[in-house]
Amino acid sequence: MKRLLIATGGGDCPGLNAVIRAIVKRASHEKEWEVLGSIQGFNGILWEPQEIIRLDEKTVAGIHYRGGTILETTNRGGPFHWPYRQSDGTWTTADRSDEMIRRLSYMGVDAVVNIGGDGSQRYSQQLFEKGLNIVGVPKTIDNDLSCTDVTFGFQTAVEVVTEAIDKLVTTAQSHNRVFIIEVMGRDAGWIALHASIAGGAEICLIPEIPYDVQAVKEAIERRFVFDRGFCIIVIAEGAMPQGGDVVGTSGEEVGRQQIRLHGAAARLSAELKQAGCTHDVRETILGHLQRGGIPIAYDRVLASQYGIKAFELVKEEKFGQMVAYHHPNVVSVPIAEAIATPNLVTMDSNVLETARGLGICFGD
Ligand code: F6P
């Protein structure tokens, strides 16, 4: 019997369960494969006692539309930065990656499928370089992984933001207000950009284009005649003013590597007031609503395609590869290439060109 282990790492994302289901269903056609799942990323392998579950067709029945991940996940710690408390009470981290690979070998695991975003795929690459048979599946609402047209979960997040804009437009119009909607995406402006087009926003502020508050204020004024009018601004959590930096907090969660981004909308609101904007401004932070809940049909299909392809790669022993979507095909690319540079909005992107063509202001 051959053993395949699945792990889901990083922030959760709509479509994770559809990937797990597809892998298990596909593996069930091959009588010699048994599929296991590690709870909370790789933690389940490293915990004492271990938390590993058997995944069969019964376990995954009907989970394709469920949000989150039945395997749970974490974006803290991990095999290379395992947090532990020292005798003086302070926290530090240890590299337990070699031990994890040894444990997998004792468990008789022949291959691992790691479903995760850029951080998780970095781990996949490091583990591959240490000899682990691993395949990556690109997950993230941020769509910031390279070498694939799209990551699953992204379109669902865009849908959530678009629906929110549709709702906020009616209240903005009724009250003659400016609404600032803060959306996720980390250093990438994809969610903000796509939702601004789909939702008909007037202003879109993304990390790739630092904004000038004066330009934003002028774009707002163009939407008002005296005090009548309204304006929708979509701001990515990683957006920043020209000469400024991102807003967020770091060091508040043990084992967390990244800064937690939040506050871009509130900062912009204060900046506008300071710049002399007299309109009523309200802020809405969509936060984890963008990540929770059911995946839209597009993401269910994409996630299922990724799951089936991931199993094929395992079968063909094409390790160190990540599944990817190159329209209209699902292909494989080296994980090393996918993580080499992040997929950010480039100035020649057609989506950006479309937004500019529609008159959306980027604050530049
Ligand atoms: O990477 C996905 C993401 O949702 C980002 O868009 C966001 O910055 C981050 O995760 C939020 O992380 P957490 O769930 O730990 O607050």
Probe residue for ligand 1, chosen from 73, 76, 142 as the CB with the greatest number of ligand atoms within 8 Å = 142
The reply to whether ligand 1 has any atom less than 6 angstroms from the CB of 261 is yes
**197-215 mean pLDDT:** 98
**Which pLDDT value is given to residue 97?**
98
Residues 6+ apart with CB under 8 A from 56: 24, 28, 35
**pLDDT tens digit sequence for 63-87:** 999 999 999 999 988 999 999 999 9
pLDDT reading at 257 higher than 80:
no
pLDDT reading at 162 higher than 80:
yes
Q: pLDDT band at 253, cuts 50/70/90?
A: confident
**155-164 mean pLDDT:** 98
Q: Give CA–CA dist 203/86, Å, rounded.
A: 49
Tokens 């284009």, residue located: 209
Q: What is the DSSP string of 271-338?
A: HHHHTT--S-EEEEE-GGGGTSSPPPHHHHHHHHHHHHHHHHHHHTT-TTEEEEEETTEEEEEEHHHH
**Which pLDDT value is given to residue 250?**
87
Residue 307 phi/psi, 5° resolution? -65, -45
pLDDT reading at 284 higher than 90:
yes
- Does residue 144 carry a catalytic annotation? no
Probe residue for ligand 1, chosen from 8, 144, 151, 184 as the CB with the greatest number of ligand atoms within 8 Å = 184
**pLDDT tens digit sequence for 7-65:** 999 999 999 999 999 999 999 999 899 999 999 999 999 999 999 999 999 999 999 99
Tokens of 75: 């974006």
Q: What is the DSSP string of 202-263?
A: SEEE-TTS-B-HHHHHHHHHTTEETTEE-EEEEEETT--BTT----EE-SSSTT--S-EE--
**149-160 mean pLDDT:** 98
**pTM of the full structure:** 0.97
pLDDT reading at 167 higher than 90:
yes
